Amino acid sequence: MPEGTLCNKQHVNTEEQLQALLADKSGKTYYEEMKSLDVDQDKLAKTLAATFKSRLKTWLSICAHCGLCADSCFLYLANKRDPKQVPSYKIQSTLGEIVKRKGRVDTPFMIHCMDVAWSQCTCCNRCGMYCPFGIDMGVMFGYLRGLCYSQGFVPWELKIGSGMHRIYRAQMDITTEDWVDTCEWMAEENEEEWPGLEIPIDKENADIMYTVNAREPKHYPEDLAEAAILFHLAGENWTVPSEGWEETSLAMFAGDWEACRMQVESVYDAMKRLNPKRMVVTECGHAYRATVIEGPYWAGLKNGQTPVPSLHYIEWLAEALRTGKIKIDPAKKIKEPVTYQDSCNYIRNAGLADTAREIMSYIAEDFREMQPCREHNFCCGGGGGFNGLGRYRPERNVGLKVKRDQILATGAKLVISPCHNCWDAIRDLEEVYKIGIRWSFLKPIIIGMAIVPDHMKPAEE
Amino acid sequence: MYEFLTGPVLWLTFAVFFIGLAARFVWYVRGLDWKLDRVAYRQWPKYGIRGALRSIGFWLLPWGTRSWQVKPVFTLVFFAFHIGLLVTPIFLLGHNLLLDERWGFALPTLPAGVASFFTVMVMVAGLFLVIRRIALPEVRILTTWYDYLVLIIAVAPFATGYLAANHIGDYGFWLNIHIVTGIIWIVAIPLTKLSHFLMFFLTRAQIGMDYGIKRGGMKSKGMAW
C-alpha cells in the first residue's frame, strides 16, 4: 500500500478529510498506516536540490563535532546527558543521513526522523547560541519537519492542526460566526461591571488591531474579555477583525509551509482591509513568531516586515504601563517571590527580554530571575508542538524536568508566563511533579492591580 | 627537492588556497536566499552589519560569549590552539627569511623561544582535543575518522617543524616532510573542514544577520551572545 487513507502525502483541505482523521482516536490507524507509507525518493531528492542551499549545507558539513551544543539542549540535560540527545548528533543522524543518501531513505528511517524531529527538538534555537559557527539546529529541524511533512510523516495531531488552518484559517474549528459571537458574548458578559466596554469588530483605521490564539475563543473566552477590559482601561481605539484574527500556526510546527502562508495571509489581509496603525498579538509566543517574525517571508514580503507594525502583548502592556495609560495600585503589586518564563519564541527569537523585565519592574516587588534567563533561558519543555503530541507524551514529561528545577531554584511559587505553550507546559509540570506552584498570564494579574478611574466603575445602585 | 617544493609546488599551493577560498566565498554568499533562509539580507543593511559584526566580534573574544564562559578550560585550550596555529607560521623567523629571500620582504618575527613555545602549545592543545574526543561521551558520539584526520593535518607541520628546527633526527629529511605537511595544511584549508578558516566568519555573519534583521535585532540592543 503506497498511501494510507488517513496517513498519506495529501494535504488536509476538506472537512471530510478532517473528520476522518479526528474520528481515528489517538491516531491509532494513522500511525499503523504510516508503517507502510512509501517514501517518494525522487520527490525528496528534488526538494533537496531546490531548497537545501549553502546556509544549511555549510552548517551540516562544517560542524566540527566539538559537542559544545550538548549542554545547551534541555532535552540532553533532562535525559541524563544521553549522547543521543546531543543536538549535532540528532541532526546529523537524521537530516544529515537524508542528505548523504540523496533522499534514498526508507519508511522506517523516515519514521525515525519524524520521532526525532518532533520529540527530541522543540526548535527552541538555543543550541545555535552555543555553537562557535552559529549552527542553528532548531532551524535545521524546522527544515527537516518540512521534508517529513511533505512525505506524509507527521504526527497525527499536526496533520489535523495544519488541516484546520487550511480549512478554517485557525488551529481549531472556529468559524467566523463562532468568533464574532464569542466577541459579542464576552462584551455583553462584562459590560455591567465595565460600563462602555466593547469589542469592536472590523472597525477601520483603529489604532490597534488585536489578534489572538484560537484557544482563547474556544476554551478561555475570558482571556478575550480581559484583553478588552485592559484596552478599555487604557482608552485604546482598537478592533478585532472578523476574519484574520488567528495568530497561531500549528502549520509551522507541522512543517506545512503552504498552510503557514495561507494562515498569515489571512491576518495580513485583515490589516490591509482595516488599515490599523498597529497590530497587537495576544500572550502567545509561537503565534508572534509565526505571524510577525517568520510570516512575512512565507507571504513573500521582501522586507520581512508585517504590513503594519506588530507588537507582542508584552510590548503593548509595557508601553501602557510606561505611559500611564494603565496605572498600577502600588499596594496591590505582587509581594511574594515571582519569576518569569522567557518564551523562546519572543525572547530569544524576537528580542523582547528587556520588555518583559520592564513589566516586572512595575508589578512585582520580589522578582526573581530563573538561571539562565532572557535569551539564554531554557525552553519550557513543551515548545514546537511538543505539548500537544500524544505519541511523545512520556518524552515531553521527562523534558519538563529542566524547567521544574529552574523554577524551584528561584524559590518563587508564582510563575508569570505570557505564552500559551509555556503556560501549558508549566501547568503540566505541576500536574506531573507537584511542586506547589501557580502560573498565570499577565492580563488577569494586571486587571487585579490596575487603578480603575471612577468614571469607569459601574454606577452605584 | 627543497627548491622544487618551495618553488613551483608552493605557487600551486597558494593558488589552490586563494582560488579555493574565493570559490567558497562566492558559492556561500550566492547560495544565501532571503526566501529560503527567511532573512531579508539586503533590505536592512544597518541592522544586518551590526548583527554580523556583533556575532563575529563576541565569538573572537576569549570568554566573550556565554558558550565560552560556561566551558572556561575548553575555551583556554581552544584559543591557545588557534592562536598558535595562525600566529606561528606567519611570524616565524625561518618562514620570513624565506619570504625575504624570494620576494624581498619580511614580516616582524617572533623570538625563537616564543615560536618554540607556541609550537609546543599547538601540539599539547591538539593532544587535549584528541583526548577530549575520546573521553567525553557527548563528543565521542559525534567524532568520525575525518575529525582526527583534520586534526592531524592541522598539527603535523608543527610536529615536523619542531623536529627540524631542533635538529632532532635527520634535519634535511624532517625539513622536507615539514614542507610537505605544510603544503597539505594550506591546500586542506579550502578543501576540507579546515575551510572554517573562512567559513567561520561567513556562518557567524549569517546567523548574526538573522538575529540582527529578523530575530529581535530591531527591537533590542542585539543578541546577547
DSSP B193-213: GGGHHHHHHHHHHHHHHIIII
Per DSSP, chain A holds a count of helices (H) and strands (E) of 24, 8
| Chain A residue numbers touching B27 (CB-CB < 8 A) | 54
Is 80 exceeded by the pLDDT of residue A121?
yes
Look at residue B3 in the predicted model and tell me its pLDDT.
85
Q: Residue B63: what residue type?
A: W
A356 touches chain B (CB under 8 A): no
**In chain B, which among 65-104 make CB contacts under 8 A with chain A?**
65-67, 70-71, 74
Task: For residue A59, give the nearest of B65, B203, B208 by CB distance.
Answer: B203
Task: List the Cα angle A377/B215/A318 in 5-degree steps.
Answer: 70
| Chain B residue numbers touching A65 (CB-CB < 8 A) | 133, 139, 142-144, 147
Is 70 exceeded by the pLDDT of residue A425?
yes
Tell if the CB–CB gap between A65 and B144 is shorter than 8 Å: yes
Is 80 exceeded by the pLDDT of residue A2?
no
What is the CA A96 to chain-centroid distance, rounded? 27
CB A271 within 8 A of CB A279: yes
Look at residue A461 in the predicted model and tell me its pLDDT.
59
Average pLDDT, chain B: 96
CB under 8 A, 24+ apart: contacts of A94-100: A94/A144, A95/A60, A95/A140, A95/A141, A95/A143, A95/A144, A95/A147, A96/A60, A98/A44, A98/A48, A98/A144, A98/A147, A99/A48, A99/A52, A99/A57, A99/A60
Burial of residue B176, with CB atoms counted within 10 A of its CB: 0-12 exposed, 13-18 middle, 19 or more buried: middle
- Give dist(CA A285, CA A283) in Å, integer: 7
Is 80 exceeded by the pLDDT of residue A94?
yes
Domains delineated in chain A = 39-154 (1.10.1060), 167-319 (no CATH), 327-449 (3.40.50)
Is 80 exceeded by the pLDDT of residue A453?
yes
The CB density around residue B31, as the number of other CB atoms within 10 Å, is 16
- Give dist(CA B88, CA A438) in Å, integer: 59
CB A255 within 8 A of CB A142: yes
b/e map A47-64, b = 16+ CB within 10 Å: bbeeebbbbbebbbebbb
Is 80 exceeded by the pLDDT of residue A460?
no
Q: What is the DSSP string of A234-272?
A: TT--EEB-SSS-B---HHHHHT-HHHHHHHHHHHHHHHH
H helix or E strand, kind and range, residue A337: strand A334-340
B158 to chain A, closest Cα gap in Å: 21
Tell if the CB–CB gap between A304 and B142 is shorter than 8 Å: no
The model's pLDDT over A184-225, given as tens digits with 9 standing for 90+, comes to 999 999 999 999 999 999 999 999 999 999 999 999 999 999
B126 touches chain A (CB under 8 A): no
Look at residue B1 in the predicted model and tell me its pLDDT.
81
b/e map A126-162, b = 16+ CB within 10 Å: bbbbbbbbbbbbbbbbbbbbbbbbbbbbbbbbbbbbb
Look at residue A35 in the predicted model and tell me its pLDDT.
97
Look at residue A337 in the predicted model and tell me its pLDDT.
98
Q: What is the DSSP letter of B9?
A: I
Q: What cell numbers appear for B96 in the block? A: 620570513
Task: For residue A55, give the nearest of B32, B139, B225 by CB distance.
Answer: B32
Task: For residue B139, give the nearest of A65, A303, A305 by CB distance.
Answer: A65
Is 80 exceeded by the pLDDT of residue B138?
yes
What value does the mean pLDDT take over residues A321-328?
A: 98
The model's pLDDT over A254-294, given as tens digits with 9 standing for 90+, comes to 999 999 999 999 999 999 999 999 999 999 999 999 999 99
Tell if the CB–CB gap between A59 and B215 is shorter than 8 Å: no
Q: What cell numbers appear for A272 in the block? A: 490591509
Tell if the CB–CB gap between B67 and A129 is shorter than 8 Å: yes
Percent of chain A's residues with pLDDT above 90: 98
Q: Residue A245: what residue type?
A: W
- The reply to whether omega before B89 is within 30° of 0 (cis) is no
Q: What are phi and psi of A224, to 5 degrees?
A: -65, -40
Residue with cell 512565507: A298
Look at residue A29 in the predicted model and tell me its pLDDT.
97
- Give dist(CA A418, CA A37) in Å, integer: 40
Task: For residue A58, give the nearest of B28, B142, B213 by CB distance.
Answer: B28
Instruction: Please give the interface size between A and B, counted as residue pairs whose CB atoms are below 8 Å apart.
Output: 151
The CB density around residue A379, as the number of other CB atoms within 10 Å, is 31
Burial of residue A294, with CB atoms counted within 10 A of its CB: 0-12 exposed, 13-18 middle, 19 or more buried: buried
Is 70 exceeded by the pLDDT of residue A17?
yes
Q: What is the DSSP string of A169-236?
A: SSSS---HHHHHHHHHHHHHHHHTTSTT----BS-TT-SEEEEB-THHHHH-HHHHHHHHHHHHHTT-
* Reported confidence tier of residue A361, pLDDT bands at 50, 70, 90: very high
Longest dimension (CA), chain A: 77
Q: What is the 3-state secondary structure (H, E, C) of A42-56?
A: HHHHHHHHHHCCHHH
Strands across the sheet with A334-340, in order? A364-367, A334-340, A414-416, A438-440
Look at residue A30 in the predicted model and tell me its pLDDT.
98
What value does the mean pLDDT take over residues B5-30?
A: 95
Task: For residue A350, give the nearest of B65, B74, B216 by CB distance.
Answer: B216
Is 60 exceeded by the pLDDT of residue A1?
no
Tell if the CB–CB gap between B31 and A57 is shorter than 8 Å: yes
The model's pLDDT over A338-357, given as tens digits with 9 standing for 90+, comes to 999 999 999 999 999 999 99
A136 touches chain B (CB under 8 A): yes
The CB density around residue A273, as the number of other CB atoms within 10 Å, is 15
| Chain A residue numbers touching B136 (CB-CB < 8 A) | 67
Name the residue in chain B with its Cα closest to that of A81. Answer: B138
Tell if the CB–CB gap between A135 and B71 is shorter than 8 Å: no
Look at residue B111 in the predicted model and tell me its pLDDT.
96
End-to-end CA distance of chain B: 49
Q: What cell numbers appear for B4 in the block? A: 622544487
Percent of chain B's residues with pLDDT above 90: 96
Look at residue A459 in the predicted model and tell me its pLDDT.
83
B32 touches chain A (CB under 8 A): yes
Instruction: Identify the CA nearest to A322 among candidates A367, A359, A277.
Output: A359
The model's pLDDT over B161-210, given as tens digits with 9 standing for 90+, comes to 999 999 999 999 999 999 999 999 999 999 999 999 999 999 999 999 99
Look at residue B2 in the predicted model and tell me its pLDDT.
84
- Give dist(CA B33, CA B28) in Å, integer: 10
| Chain B residue numbers touching A88 (CB-CB < 8 A) | 142
A354 to chain B, closest Cα gap in Å: 8
Question: A209 - beta bridge partners?
Answer: A239, A279
Average pLDDT, chain A: 97
Q: Which of A47, A48, A53, A55 is the best mutation test for B, with the most CBs of B within 10 A?
A: A55
Q: Which of A57, A63, A68, A143 is the best mutation test for B, with the most CBs of B within 10 A?
A: A68
Q: How long, in residues, is chain B?
A: 225
Is 90 exceeded by the pLDDT of residue B5?
no
- Give dist(CA A455, CA A450) in Å, integer: 14
The model's pLDDT over A396-407, given as tens digits with 9 standing for 90+, comes to 999 999 999 999
The model's pLDDT over B62-82, given as tens digits with 9 standing for 90+, comes to 999 999 999 999 999 999 999
Is 80 exceeded by the pLDDT of residue A97?
yes
Q: Is ipTM > 0.90 here?
A: yes
Q: What is the torsion angle, in degrees rounded to the nearest 10, for the CA atoms of residue A1, residue A120, residue B199 and residue A133?
A: 170
Look at residue B6 in the predicted model and tell me its pLDDT.
84
Name the residue in chain A with its Cα closest to that of B138. Answer: A83
Q: Return all residues near A154 (Cβ < 8 A) that are at least 6 apart.
A: A114, A145, A148, A162, A254, A255, A256
- Give dist(CA A413, CA B222) in Å, integer: 31
The CB density around residue B56, as the number of other CB atoms within 10 Å, is 19
Percent of chain A's residues with pLDDT above 70: 100
